[in-house]
């Protein structure tokens, strides 16, 4: 069969199949960063097991000159390092693609394909001959395939050399051995294989002003910059790296150079019930406090979330969503906590949600979350997910406005309390549904009782129907105010007037952008509204009204975003069509492309 000759320069997907716990992460990140430093847009997705060692793991790198950051939906080059998954890895390669395997061991002849090129490289043998230590041999096998790929893809060796130096800056010996293994691979490929492949990398200048960062790290930075001082958490995948990041940034920026004293306090709680309690204890006292978690943790926090809603205490939560229900698939991604988060807890409760679409927005919306939470005196939940939180995304540099000052909301100072006639905690003094609050220890006149039990507008205990209703009706009014304060949606208008609209949240964004570009090229036009917050503001309602048919794209089985839209806007469900992607892997453009193509075809037929 003739090989496909179409140029795939800077436009292909490389996937590495490996066994977890073998140290392949640094090799994979080295490959991705090399492409990035060569100026070519790139993204990496890690598909890892909920396990420490020995199970299959994959790393998918998409090289895209057009800057598409979602998965493409196919694999052009597979590095099959795991015999366990060889059969399925072979199957996944697109026709015309390449499979590279370790030819140290014989390959099952039945596992073959005529429509792809299969390249054997004796990686283990080469490393066993070169390195003495057993552990080094395993690790260097990964670096050896980096070398092979460097030759096949024409990666810049100087860039690789520099990255190796930076990665292992603390250990000179590691720099040497890693570089040696990489060169081993390069030399073998140059001597024995046809280099380069049609799928290769050529320098571009499209990554300037960009960084490669994961959402949890970016969110952690947001917490530092927002001035959060108290963090409480219980470790849970995939949110853990958020608190790890916060701690490491605080060690760098918040530790007194002379005394070693810390201007922050992180408490690893006994469970998520305690984690949210610690956050509330801290915000009650005026600190900015947060907790990162995932679905199961959010379930445990529900009781306190209702308490915070009713007693009107700020709290910032990061729900880095994973696959549910129950334990689900902890290392796979989903957007299936939308309803659980929006209405967490018993009784009439609603919570403000923010939906970042990439790490840069994790940084920005983290800061927004603290401001909104303080302003509205209520929990704000940042709905990230595993794909955003744990994968490295290429995004524009983070920036910071030096003029930023936190909005701490209506917190009365000692001087204000001194001159006030009286202070009543839950009176709607400004008519926006947001009362004034005080902090313990500030002034004798500021004392009040935080209670989850029925209370009147003065903060006193009550079981009186009218007094109770006055308080919860004001909370409903505050909710209306929230809808005017939350971030606006991002709206992308089609080049031509469109009767179709696409609505989505969060990490669906990259796939939708790519789908809409592709559809527009085929003459199918749709507008796109990426909702960034709940409650939905006026512009979300307007967008819905403006379109005959709305496609709601989301990553869960039960169309939770659609449910929220119907429940909260009263929009007719018949005009909302769901596009659902919920298998746990990050979505690619195809489900959106297919649904809109089909709809357009029906329209033409009708």
Partner 1 sequence: MTSIAKPKIVHQGLKRNALGLTVRDYEGGMSTLCAGCGHDSITAAIVQAFFELDIAPHAVAKMSGIGCSSKTPAYFLSQSHGFNSVHGRMPSIATGASAANRELHLLGVSGDGDSLSIGLGQFTHALRRNLHMVYIIENNGVYGLTKGQFSASADVGSKAKRGEVNKQPPIDPVQIALALGGSFVARSFSGDKDQLVPLIKAGVRHRGFALIDVLSPCVTFNDHEDSTKSYAYAREFSHPAIHADFVPPATEIKAAYDEGAVLPVELHDGSRVLLRKVAKDFDPGTRGAALEYVRAQQRKGEIVTGLLYIDGSEADMHGVNGTVAAPLARLPYEELCPGRDALLKLQQRFR
SS3 call for 435: coil
DSSP state of 500: E
Q: Which is nearer to partner 1, 34 or 563 (CB)?
A: 34
Q: According to the binding rule CB under 8 A, does residue 505 interact with partner 1?
A: no
482 binds partner 1 (CB under 8 A): no
Determine if 212 is a binding residue for partner 1 (CB under 8 A): yes
Name the minimum Å distance from CB 456 to partner 1: 10
- Beta pairing, strands 265-268 & 230-233: parallel
Among 27, 69, 94, 221, binds partner 1 (CB under 8 A): 221
* Interface residue with partner 1, options 165, 263, 538, 575 (CB under 8 A): 263
Q: Candidates 123-131, 292-300, 434-442, 470-478 — which segment interacts with partner 1 by CB under 8 A?
A: 434-442
HSE (side-chain half, CA atoms, 13 Å) at 165: 6
CB of 201 to partner 1, least distance (A): 17
Closest CA to 131 of 117, 143, 119, 114: 143
- Please report, as residue ranges, which positions from 373 to 402 form the binding site for partner 1 (by CB under 8 A): 397-402
Minimum CB distance to partner 1, residue 274 (Å):
4
Our CB check for partner 1 shows the closer of 213 and 587 to be 213
C-alpha to C-alpha distance for 207 and 187, rounded to whole angstroms: 29
**Minimum CB distance to partner 1 smaller for 463 or for 496:** 463
Q: Pick the piece of the chain touching partner 1 (CB under 8 A) from 74-82, 286-294, 503-511, 532-540.
A: 286-294
Q: Is 287 in the site for partner 1 (CB under 8 A)?
A: yes
Strands 56-64, 11-19: pairing is antiparallel
Residue 225 touching partner 1 (CB under 8 A): yes
Residue 138 has a CB neighbour count (10 Å cut-off) of 17
Phi, psi of 516 (to 5 degrees): -65, -35
CA angle 169, 171, 176 (to 5 degrees): 90
* Residues between 449 and 468 that touch partner 1 (CB under 8 A): 449-453, 460-464
Interaction mask 304-343, partner 1, x per CB under 8 A: x--x------------------------------------
Q: Which residues contact 26 (CB under 8 A, 6 or more apart)?
A: 142, 167
Q: According to the binding rule CB under 8 A, does residue 264 interact with partner 1?
A: yes
- Considering the complex, state which of residue 283 and residue 294 has its C-beta at the smaller distance from partner 1: 283
Between 195 and 211, name the residue whose CB sits nearer to partner 1.
211
Scan for tokens 């392949």, then name that residue. 24
Q: State which of positions 97-156 bind partner 1 (CB under 8 A).
A: none
- Among 150-158, 282-290, 332-340, 378-386, which window interacts with partner 1 (CB under 8 A)? 282-290
Nearest partner of 15 among 81, 60, 46, 56, judged by Cα: 60
Given 261, 422, 465, 606, the residue binding partner 1 (CB under 8 A):
261
* Residue 232 near partner 1 by CB under 8 A: yes
Q: Residue 78 in contact with residue 17, Cβ under 8 Å?
A: yes
Quickly count: other Cβ atoms within 10 Å of residue 97's Cβ. 26
Nearest-approach distance from CB 319 to partner 1, in angstroms: 19
Phi-psi region of 467 (alpha: psi -120 to 50; beta: other; left: phi over 0): alpha
Return the structure tokens found at 510: 């990259």
Distance of closest approach, residue 252 Cβ to partner 1, in angstroms: 8
Reported as type and span, the H/E element at residue 396 is: strand 392-396
Strand order in the sheet with 490-492: 490-492, 527-531, 500-505, 549-554, 576-580
3-state SS class at 96: strand
Is residue 282 at the binding interface for partner 1, with CB under 8 A as the rule?
Answer: yes
Q: Name the CA radius of gyration of the chain, rounded.
A: 27
Distance CA 478, CA 403 (A): 28
Q: What minimum distance in Å lies between the beta carbon of 445 and partner 1?
A: 8
Q: Is 279 in the site for partner 1 (CB under 8 A)?
A: yes
Residue 431 interacting with partner 1 (CB under 8 A):
no
CB of 534 to partner 1, least distance (A): 24
Q: Is 230 in the site for partner 1 (CB under 8 A)?
A: yes
Query: Which of residues 115, 271, 407, 488 is near partner 1 by CB under 8 A?
Result: 271
The residue among 12 and 234 lying less far from partner 1, judged by its C-beta, is 234
Q: Kindly identify the residues of this chain, within the stretch 21-40, that bind partner 1 according to CB under 8 A.
A: 33, 36-37
Q: How far is the CB of 69 from partner 1 (least distance, A)?
A: 15
Task: Report residue 317: phi and psi, to 5°.
Answer: -120, 145
CA distances from 77 to 16, 45, 93, 393, 474 (A): 8, 15, 7, 20, 59
């Amino acid at each position: 069969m003739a090989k496909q000759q179409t140029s795939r320069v800077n436009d292909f997907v490389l996937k590495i199949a490996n066994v977890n716990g073998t140290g392949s992460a640094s090799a994979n990140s080295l490959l991705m960063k090399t492409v990035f430093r060569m100026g070519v847009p790139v993204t990496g997705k890690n598909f890892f097991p909920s396990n420490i060692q020995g199970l299959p793991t994959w790393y998918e790198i998409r090289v895209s000159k057009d800057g598409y950051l979602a998965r493409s939906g196919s694999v052009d080059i597979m590095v099959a390092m795991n015999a366990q998954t060889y059969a399925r890895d072979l199957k996944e390669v697109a026709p015309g693609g390449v499979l590279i395997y370790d030819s140290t061991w014989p390959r099952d002849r039945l596992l073959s394909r005529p429509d792809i090129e299969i390249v054997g490289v004796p990686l283990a043998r080469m490393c066993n001959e070169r390195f003495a230590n057993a552990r080094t041999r395993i690790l260097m096998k990964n670096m050896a395939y980096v070398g092979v790929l460097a030759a096949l893809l024409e990666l810049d060796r100087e860039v690789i050399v520099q990255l190796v130096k930076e990665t292992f800056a603390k250990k000179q010996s590691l720099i040497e051995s890693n570089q040696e293994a990489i060169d081993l691979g390069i030399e073998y490929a140059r001597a024995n294989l046809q280099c380069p492949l049609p799928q290769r990398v050529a320098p571009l200048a499209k990554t300037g002003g960009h960084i490669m960062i994961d959402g949890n790290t970016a969110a952690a930075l947001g917490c530092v910059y927002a001035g959060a001082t108290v963090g409480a958490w219980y470790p849970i995948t995939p949110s853990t790296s958020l608190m790890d990041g916060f701690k490491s940034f605080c060690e760098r920026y918040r530790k007194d150079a002379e005394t070693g004293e810390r201007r922050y306090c992180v408490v690893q709680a006994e469970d998520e019930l305690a984690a949210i309690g610690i956050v509330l204890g801290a915000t009650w006292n005026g600190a900015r406090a947060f907790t990162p978690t995932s679905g199961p943790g959010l379930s445990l926090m529900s009781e306190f979330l209702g308490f915070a809603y009713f007693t009107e205490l700020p709290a910032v939560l990061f729900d880095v969503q994973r696959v549910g229900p129950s334990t689900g698939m902890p290392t796979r991604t989903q957007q299936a906590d939308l309803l659980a988060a929006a209405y967490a807890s018993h009784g009439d409760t609603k919570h403000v949600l923010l939906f970042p679409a990439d790490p840069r927005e994790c940084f920005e919306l983290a800061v927004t979350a603290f401001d909104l939470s303080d302003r509205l005196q209520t929990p704000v939940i940042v709905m990230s997910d595993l794909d955003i939180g744990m994968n490295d995304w290429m995004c524009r540099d983070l920036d910071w406005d030096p003029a930023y000052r936190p909005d701490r909301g209506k917190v009365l100072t000692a001087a204000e309390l001194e001159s006030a006639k009286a202070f009543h905690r839950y009176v709607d003094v400004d008519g926006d549904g947001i009362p004034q609050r005080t902090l313990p220890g500030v002034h004798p006149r500021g004392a009040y009782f935080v209670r989850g039990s029925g209370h009147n507008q003065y903060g006193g205990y009550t079981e009186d129907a009218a007094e109770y209703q006055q308080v919860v009706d004001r909370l409903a009014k505050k909710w209306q105010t929230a809808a005017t304060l939350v971030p606006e949606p991002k709206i992308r208008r089609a080049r031509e007037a469109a009767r179709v609209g696409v609505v989505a949240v969060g990490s669906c964004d990259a796939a939708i952008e790519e789908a809409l570009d592709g559809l527009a090229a085929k003459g199918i036009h749709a507008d796109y509204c990426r909702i960034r917050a709940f409650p939905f503001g006026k512009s979300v309602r307007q967008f819905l009204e403006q379109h005959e048919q709305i496609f709601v794209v989301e990553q869960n089985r039960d169309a939770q975003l659609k449910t929220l839209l119907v429940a909260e806007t009263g929009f007719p469900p018949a005009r909302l069509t769901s596009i659902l992607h919920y298998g746990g892997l990050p979505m690619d453009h195809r489900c959106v492309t297919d649904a809109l193509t089909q709809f357009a075809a029906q329209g033409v037929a009708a």
